[in-house]
A and B are shown apart, each in its own frame.
Chain A
Amino acid sequence: MIQFEHVSKRYDEGFDALKDVSFTINTGEMAFLTGHSGAGKSTLLKLVMLMEQPTAGHIQVGEQILNRLGRHDIPYLRRSIGVVFQNHQLLFDRSVFDNVALPLNICGYSPEDAARRVRAALDKVGLLDREKMNPMALSSGEQQRVGIARAIVHKPKVLLADEPTGNLDPQLSAEIMRLFEQFNRVGTTVLIASHDLSLISSMRHRMLTLKSGRLIADG
């Protein structure tokens, strides 16, 4: 589902964020991406989202070869991927419901259909009773769950997460991780970047380890 072949990324300032990285994550697999901060985890996720272009190498997500996508194809690629951010990127000028509904509005769902799907997603993350609230009024753990609901509401084939437990205590972190496992169990391919080694090593999933832009361990 996600395939990297000899991918390198050098930023304009001459900094090499990724060097010759190759791996394949199969459909329905769940994997962790780990390493110290600055090891290239975020860059790797950005390449999958086409927020950055690789300097060299070949990236494929699903059937799409990212190197060949034009600017106009990027939105359609992103619709097939759900993303969860460390800072959750919620909009505080609208309700929880409207935040989760955003991807559906963009894809053009009818309001009735969208409402049904938003409620199903909020139910999955246990926040159905919070739909009318402003996300600002929620705890950081709840905000992160709203972010997850938004990432999965349109049933993407791939779910990416960048330090989704960064600001949470161990118990909440474990809960969030269990949520990701649930989505993985229904067939979603999941890739989570995290440096919380104690938590992810207890979960027995594949682990890709980056160090200074190189993939040094896979397994």
Chain B
Amino acid sequence: MDKKRGAVRVHPSRPVTPVAPPTTRRGAEHHKVDLKGHSESWLRNHIAVCKAALTKLLGTPVATMMTVAVLAIALTLPGFLFTVLSNVQSLTEGWEGETRLSLYLETSLGDEDADRFSRSLLLRDDIAAVDYISRNQGMREFKKYSGFGDVLDALTDNPLPAVVVLLPRSRAVADLGLMRASFEAMPEVNEAVLDLEWLQRLDAMLAVAKRGVFVLGLLLGLAVLLVIGNTIKMSIESRRDEIVVSKLVGATDAWVRRPFLYTGVWYGLLGALCAWLVIQVAWLMLETPAQELTQLYRSQFQLTGLGVSGSSLLLLSSVLLGWLGAWIAVRRHLRDIEPS
């Protein structure tokens, strides 16, 4: 205890010692005096300022809540959309490489002929698997999942064609295109549809959506920056006297800046926490219906929320934006406040 006290006591004499010889800059002279005492008091000041900034924010709960709510909304939107997109993307990734070619057979074709046709396809080298869905089987599944059972019962004829689903060995887009054309030319086939087409379209749409979310995120990030910057600017104005007096009794720019930077960081953190909470709740609400949907597609797909990396990205970027917004505000306005 004594030792520590001694160290601290030496340090304060620092400012009174003649400041750096004229040719050198600040720095070394001061820090050389007592490095341990200096870093100790520096850390102590940071902790105190960090706490005081939070206390000050909580001291005006309504104003703080308003700002935090605005930040949370601005952060929730891109965060949520980003999560949705990454889920859709992981969904399509599961399908890629398993491109199927669906052959819708002529309805005039009898069940036996259709079955024979599907079997003949099994002999081909370029096809890995063949799945034959007869007209009746198709009808049964359609009834089960569409909910139009009664309407379908009223029909005298089965309007559905038999379908042969092929799994081609080749995954090259050009090969698949040729294959589709050759199948469509066959007399038994009414229409040949490559899954790839809608998958490609979906991919293209996803790319557009991703870019959209990115731009939206950029804009809303800018909004976060401006909101925090403006809030800090007002806070600087309201503490004008304190800044002037502090500068008069020897506060460095860093010392004056510090409380505002911490305020910005707190805003960023609180905003991110609220946004995180909103996203998680929204996700919970989505989970059950989404699971039902994926079950309909007999998919093994698992919905994933923000996750650890998403959450930390949200938190980190928000805190960084808070700090940056405060820094810009402080840089612009603090120099104007000089004792006169």
The A146-164 residues at the B interface (CB cut-off 8 A) are 150, 154-157
> Using Cβ atoms and an 8 Å threshold, which residues of chain B touch A79?
15-16, 249-250
> Using Cβ atoms and an 8 Å threshold, which residues of chain B touch A75?
247, 250-253, 255
Q: Is A83 an interface residue (CB 8 A)?
A: yes
B225 → chain A closest CB, angstroms? 27
Instruction: Give B251's nearest chain A residue, CB to CB.
Output: A106
The B209-231 residues at the A interface (CB cut-off 8 A) are none
Query: In the docked arrangement, what's the CA distance between A104 and B250, Å?
Result: 10
Instruction: Give A108's nearest chain B residue, CB to CB.
Output: B41
> Using Cβ atoms and an 8 Å threshold, which residues of chain B touch A102?
245-246, 249
Query: In the docked arrangement, what's the CA distance between A64 and B255, Å?
Result: 23
Q: Is A110 an interface residue (CB 8 A)?
A: yes
Given A75-B252, A106-B250, A110-B41, the answer on whether A80 and B15 have CB atoms closer than 8 Å is: yes
Interface-side segment among A66-74, A118-126, A197-205:
A66-74
Instruction: Give A92's nearest chain B residue, CB to CB.
Output: B241
Residues A154 and B15 in contact, CB atoms below 8 Å apart = yes
Q: Is B9 an interface residue (CB 8 A)?
A: yes
> Using Cβ atoms and an 8 Å threshold, which residues of chain A touch B338?
51
Contact with A along B230-274 (1 / 0, CB 8 A): 000000000001101111111111010000000000000000000
Chain B interface residue count, CB cutoff 8 Å, equals 38
The A65-91 residues at the B interface (CB cut-off 8 A) are 65, 68-70, 72-73, 75-80, 83, 89, 91
Residues A72 and B44 in contact, CB atoms below 8 Å apart = no
Query: In the docked arrangement, what's the CA distance between A78 and B250, Å?
Result: 5
Residues B9 and A73 in contact, CB atoms below 8 Å apart = no
B21 → chain A closest CB, angstroms? 8
A89 in complex: contacting residue of B19, B42, B248, CB < 8 Å = B248
Q: Is A23 an interface residue (CB 8 A)?
A: no
Q: Is A103 an interface residue (CB 8 A)?
A: yes
A2 → chain B closest CB, angstroms? 14
The B39-72 residues at the A interface (CB cut-off 8 A) are 40-42, 44-45
Q: Is B339 an interface residue (CB 8 A)?
A: yes
Residues A103 and B250 in contact, CB atoms below 8 Å apart = yes
- Which size class do A's interface residues fall under? 35 or more
Residues A76 and B242 in contact, CB atoms below 8 Å apart = no
Given A76-B250, A108-B41, the answer on whether A69 and B15 have CB atoms closer than 8 Å is: no
Residues B9 and A113 in contact, CB atoms below 8 Å apart = yes
Instruction: Give B249's nearest chain A residue, CB to CB.
Output: A103
B105 → chain A closest CB, angstroms? 84
Residues A106 and B255 in contact, CB atoms below 8 Å apart = yes
Given A76-B30, A106-B251, the answer on whether A62 and B18 have CB atoms closer than 8 Å is: yes
Residues A76 and B244 in contact, CB atoms below 8 Å apart = no
> Using Cβ atoms and an 8 Å threshold, which residues of chain B touch A64?
18-19, 22
B141 → chain A closest CB, angstroms? 74
B246 → chain A closest CB, angstroms? 6
> Using Cβ atoms and an 8 Å threshold, which residues of chain A touch B16?
79-80, 154-157
Instruction: Give B44's nearest chain A residue, CB to CB.
Output: A110
Given A77-B19, A157-B16, the answer on whether A70 and B25 have CB atoms closer than 8 Å is: yes
Most buried by B among A51, A68, A70, A107: A107
Residues A109 and B245 in contact, CB atoms below 8 Å apart = no
> Using Cβ atoms and an 8 Å threshold, which residues of chain A touch B247?
75, 78
Q: Is A169 an interface residue (CB 8 A)?
A: no
> Using Cβ atoms and an 8 Å threshold, which residues of chain A touch B12?
104, 107-109, 113, 154
Residues B248 and A76 in contact, CB atoms below 8 Å apart = no
> Using Cβ atoms and an 8 Å threshold, which residues of chain A touch B22?
64-65, 68-69
B178 → chain A closest CB, angstroms? 73
Contact with B along A52-64 (1 / 0, CB 8 A): 0000000000111
> Using Cβ atoms and an 8 Å threshold, which residues of chain A touch B8?
109-110, 113
| 7 intermolecular pairs with C-beta atoms under 8 Å apart | A63-B19, A73-B26, A78-B248, A91-B242, A91-B245, A113-B8, A156-B16
Q: A76-B250, A79-B16, A112-B5 are in contact. List 16 more A-B contacts (CB 8 A).
A: A64-B18, A75-B250, A75-B255, A89-B248, A91-B241, A91-B245, A106-B252, A106-B255, A107-B250, A108-B41, A108-B44, A108-B45, A109-B41, A110-B8, A110-B41, A155-B16
In order of increasing CB-CB distance, the 6 nearest A-B pairs are: A79-B15, A108-B41, A79-B250, A63-B18, A78-B250, A68-B22
